[in-house]
């Protein structure tokens, strides 16, 4: 139940400062969401270039809003003033809640959660935006599994309303309440999901995206399929436009995860998806995916 509980030790924890780990598409989007909602945000990246790229991308998005008359320049400046980029995870010692969006590799994520456990103050919420790994496994890397929760944002994070909220066996009710409250303050829509491969959205979305690639392999063009889906379903983007936004490497990883968990032959990634990933055509982020940008 995502209604904040009253009493019973379930009251939301106070969140004033937020931390984000990562500098990719999702991390950058989340930093923008939190800073735009008034939170000071400390984000940790692996190089100064990446720290600068996050701030530059957010500045560009804000400039677009100012140019469209949707935001005052002074407010845009205030958002940028709330950003603190860092190369050290130790800078997260005082944040009330941290969300990580680093590479979807179990070894790297496990090490991160061990680090957060060591570094973050008592009572900090440790959230992950993993879309393919088990939240319970990550919680087990800490001595405070009650603080560990999934907060799965969607791409582009500044625009998409949904946050899937995933609890595991030990997640505290107060932690769930804190996440719900944070979603409210950032104007997101929280939906609770069980800790199962793909949660809700990806478990439904990626079989469809995979089938779209198979339809293309069977002869329909990218444009025909995208046009059919946007005009026929009313989706904002066709499957190939969306794959290039999500990233073909991300799509492949999610499909492999779904296949491993559910075992249906139909979930086997389309050969063409493996080919574009092997060729480095990952989507908009590399300038080429199913289409060129």
Query: Is residue 32 among the annotated active site residues?
Result: no
Query: Binders of ligand CAA among 122-141, rule CB under 6 A?
Result: 131
Query: Is residue 264 among the annotated active site residues?
Result: no
Output 112 or 242, the one with its CB closest to ligand CAA: 242
Query: Is residue 164 among the annotated active site residues?
Result: yes
By CB under 6 A, name the one of 46, 64, 118, 196 that touches ligand CAA.
Answer: 64
By CB under 6 A, name the one of 61, 134, 142, 168 that touches ligand CAA.
Answer: 61
Residues 6+ apart with CB under 8 A from 142: 113, 114, 116, 117, 126, 148
What does the alpha-carbon distance between residue 116 and residue 126 come to, in Å, rounded to a whole number? 8
The two three-digit tokens of residue 183, written as one number: 């979603």
By CB under 6 A, name the one of 87, 103, 108, 159 that touches ligand CAA.
Answer: 159
Question: Residue 263 in 3-state DSSP?
Answer: coil
Q: Distance of alpha carbon 109 from its chain centroid, rounded?
A: 14
What does the alpha-carbon distance between residue 135 and residue 141 come to, in Å, rounded to a whole number? 10
Work out whether 156 is an interface residue with ligand CAA (CB under 6 A).
Answer: yes
Which is it for strands 162-166 and 148-153: parallel, antiparallel or unpaired? antiparallel
Output 61 or 186, the one with its CB closest to ligand CAA: 61
What does the alpha-carbon distance between residue 38 and residue 27 come to, in Å, rounded to a whole number? 17
Output 170 or 285, the one with its CB closest to ligand CAA: 285
Work out the number of other CB atoms within 10 angstroms of the CB of residue 205.
17
- The mark string for 174-213 relative to ligand CAA (x by CB under 6 A, - otherwise) is ----------------------------x--x--------
The torsion of the CA quartet 89, 91, 96, 98, rounded to 10 degrees, works out to -30
Task: From residue 51, give the alpha-carbon distance in Å to each of 28, 133, 144.
Answer: 10, 25, 29
Query: Is residue 257 among the annotated active site residues?
Result: no
Q: How far is the CB of 63 from ligand CAA (least distance, A)?
A: 11
What does the alpha-carbon distance between residue 36 and residue 93 come to, in Å, rounded to a whole number? 22
Determine which one of 152, 216, 255, 257 is catalytic: 152
The DSSP annotation for 103-142 comes to -S-HHHHHHHHHHHHHHSPTT-EEEE--SSS-HHHHHTTS
Output 77 or 94, the one with its CB closest to ligand CAA: 77
Q: How far is the CB of 246 from ligand CAA (least distance, A)?
A: 5
Work out whether 242 is an interface residue with ligand CAA (CB under 6 A).
Answer: yes
Output 136 or 205, the one with its CB closest to ligand CAA: 205
Q: How far is the CB of 234 from ligand CAA (least distance, A)?
A: 11
Size of the site for ligand CAA (CB under 6 A): 19
Per CB under 6 A, the segment of 118-126, 148-156, 165-173, 219-227 that binds ligand CAA is 148-156
Question: Residue 228 in 3-state DSSP?
Answer: helix
Which residues have a catalytic role annotated?
A: 131, 152, 164, 202
Site for ligand CAA, rule CB under 6 A: 61, 64-65, 68, 70, 131, 154-156, 158-160, 202, 205, 236-237, 242, 246, 250
């Amino acid at each position: 139940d995502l209604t904040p509980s009253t009493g019973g030790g379930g009251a939301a924890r106070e969140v004033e400062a937020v931390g984000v780990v990562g500098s990719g598409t999702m991390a950058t989007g989340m930093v923008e969401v939190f800073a735009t909602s008034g939170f000071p945000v400390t984000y940790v990246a692996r190089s100064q270039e990446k720290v600068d790229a996050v701030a530059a991308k957010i500045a560009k998005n804000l400039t677009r809003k100012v140019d469209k008359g949707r935001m005052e320049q002074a407010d845009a400046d205030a958002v940028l003033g709330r950003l603190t980029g860092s190369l050290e995870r130790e800078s997260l010692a005082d944040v009330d809640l941290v969300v990580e969006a680093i590479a979807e590799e179990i070894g790297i994520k496990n090490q991160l959660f061990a680090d957060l456990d060591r570094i973050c103050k008592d009572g900090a919420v440790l959230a992950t935006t993993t879309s393919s790994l088990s939240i319970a496994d990550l919680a087990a890397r800490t001595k405070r599994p009650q603080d560990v929760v999934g907060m799965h944002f969607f791409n582009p994070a500044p625009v998409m309303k949904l946050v899937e909220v995933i609890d595991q066996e030990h997640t505290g009710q107060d932690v769930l309440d804190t996440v719900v409250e944070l979603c409210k303050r950032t104007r997101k829509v929280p939906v609770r999901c069980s800790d199962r491969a793909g949660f809700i959205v990806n478990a439904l979305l990626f079989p469809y995206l995979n089938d779209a690639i198979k339809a293309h392999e069977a002869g329909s063009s990218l444009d025909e399929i995208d046009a059919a889906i946007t005009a026929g379903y009313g989706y904002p983007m066709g499957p190939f436009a969306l794959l290039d936004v999500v990233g073909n490497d991300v799509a492949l990883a999610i499909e492999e995860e779904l296949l491993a968990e559910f075992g249906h032959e139909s979930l086997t990634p389309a050969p063409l998806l493996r080919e574009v990933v092997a060729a480095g055509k990952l989507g908009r982020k590399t300038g080429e995916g199913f289409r060129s940008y």
